[in-house]
């Protein structure tokens, strides 16, 4: 099977329902942001140190990558008024949300409390997780209007919201495990 189909050469693509839409369609925009987030997670995983302290984080991030494919499947299958058996096959459940919350709680117990903002950065993997967080927020912004019109289940929007929280905490956690200090935000005042 060839990787290229030539069906998108005129700027359109197909949703899982078979509907042809422009490549700047809101569903495709949301799908693209989710894909960018997933790719960035792959980069973060590749930058994790190889020792055993990072095995759990690696496992969590790979689990999230699989979940983001499920999120993409639901985004590619809008819940319109028509009956479609594909909607049932691609429905995103809530189990992943609770899993993210458990992981967040476990990591936060091992981190110092924050009383100010921190700058995105740190270890290569930690900084990449911060980047993934900001891309996840963009995906959430694209999904919110789709959710408002009941085209996407609430679980997708909640998952992305919780995922951005997870990515913030996991960035801090990776930076902590690598001994990389966090940079605290300082108010910048222009002096004349």
Cβ-count burial 78-88 (b if 16+ within 10 Å, e if not): bbeeeebeebe
Question: What count of other Cβ atoms lies within 10 Å of the Cβ of residue 138?
Answer: 18
Confidence tier at 161 by pLDDT (50, 70, 90): very high
Q: Is the pLDDT of residue 149 over 90?
A: no
Q: What are phi and psi of 4, to 5 degrees?
A: -100, 140
**Could you give all domains of the chain from N- to C-terminal order, each with its CATH number?**
19-77+91-177 (1.20.1200.10)
Q: What are phi and psi of 189, to 5 degrees?
A: -115, 125
- pLDDT tens for each residue of 22-75: 576 788 899 999 999 999 999 999 999 999 999 999 999 999 999 999 898 888
Which pTM was predicted?
A: 0.85
- pLDDT tens for each residue of 114-133: 777 888 899 999 999 999 99
More confident residue, 35 or 81: 35
**Mean pLDDT of the chain, nearest integer:** 84
């Amino acid at each position: 099977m060839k990787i290229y189909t030539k069906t998108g050469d005129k700027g359109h693509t197909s949703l899982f329902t078979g509907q042809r839409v422009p490549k700047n369609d809101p569903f495709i925009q949301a799908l693209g942001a989710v894909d960018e987030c997933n790719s960035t997670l792959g980069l973060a995983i590749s930058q994790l140190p190889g020792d055993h302290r990072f095995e759990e984080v690696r496992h969590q991030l790979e689990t999230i990558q699989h979940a983001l494919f499920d999120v993409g499947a639901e985004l590619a299958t809008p819940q319109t008024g028509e009956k479609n058996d594909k909607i049932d096959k691609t429905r995103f459940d809530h189990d992943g949300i609770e899993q993210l919350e458990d992981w967040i709680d476990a990591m936060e117990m091992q981190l110092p409390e924050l009383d100010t903002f921190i700058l995105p950065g740190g270890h290569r993997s930690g900084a990449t997780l911060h980047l993934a967080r900001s891309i996840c927020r963009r995906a959430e912004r694209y999904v919110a209007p789709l959710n408002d019109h009941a085209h996407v289940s609430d679980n997708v929007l909640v998952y992305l919201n919780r995922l951005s929280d997870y990515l913030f905490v996991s960035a801090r956690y990776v930076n902590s495990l690598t001994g990389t200090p966090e940079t605290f935000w300082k108010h910048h005042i222009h002096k004349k």
